[in-house]
Amino acid sequence: MANTQAHAGLDLPVAEPGLLRSLAENWWLLLLRGIAAIAFGTLAFFWPGLTLLTLTLLWGAYSHSDGVFALWTAVSAKGAETESRSWIALTGVVSILAGLVTFFWPDMTAMVLLIFIATWAIIIGALQVWGAIQLRKEIEGEWLLALNGVLSIAFGMIMFVRPAVGALAVVWMIGWFAIFAGCTYIALAFRLKHYKRPA
């Protein structure tokens, strides 16, 4: 069991060399992922006359940036075992590949885009739940990551079950999902900041 230290009035476990310490030291990367998600969701809502091509490229840019931040987090986790940070690396690789596909195939149909985003959401959600399970003994806020993963899987399943919804409904679903995911990322980022060692 990890030792504890008083920090901001809370008894928090001291981050031993490993994933928790690395995530805490790089909490701002998760914050950037949250900001990027909220920015994407907001643009999806308020961009007047948003075309399918614009939505595709916009989502591709978001997915690519999210993947870069995730991969950066995994690479920065030098003190953690490879197995413990593999879910972060896989999340980054999947998102980067998804972003590249949209850039090289920007004229995909609405149906293909919907299925593509749904598949991405389910894979990312499963990886986040896996990550939350690994963090459950190290941090009390792991439920935020688990919640994000479960909602991501649910979002993907809804997209699969309702593939014939109108274009506007698709944009709104994607926008709401991105904003909520961004909020949970930001909440988890500030939770991780509490575990950062004082300078």
* Residue range 79-109, pLDDT digits in tens: 556 566 788 889 999 999 999 988 888 777 7
Mean pLDDT of the 43-56 span: 79
Residue entry with tokens 């972003």? 99
Bridge partners for 10 per DSSP: 7
Q: Which amino acid is at 91?
A: T
Distance CA 85, CA 113 (A): 29
| Token pair belonging to 103 | 């850039």
**pTM of the entire structure?**
0.75
Distance CA 144, CA 149 (A): 9
What is the structure's pLDDT at 13?
38
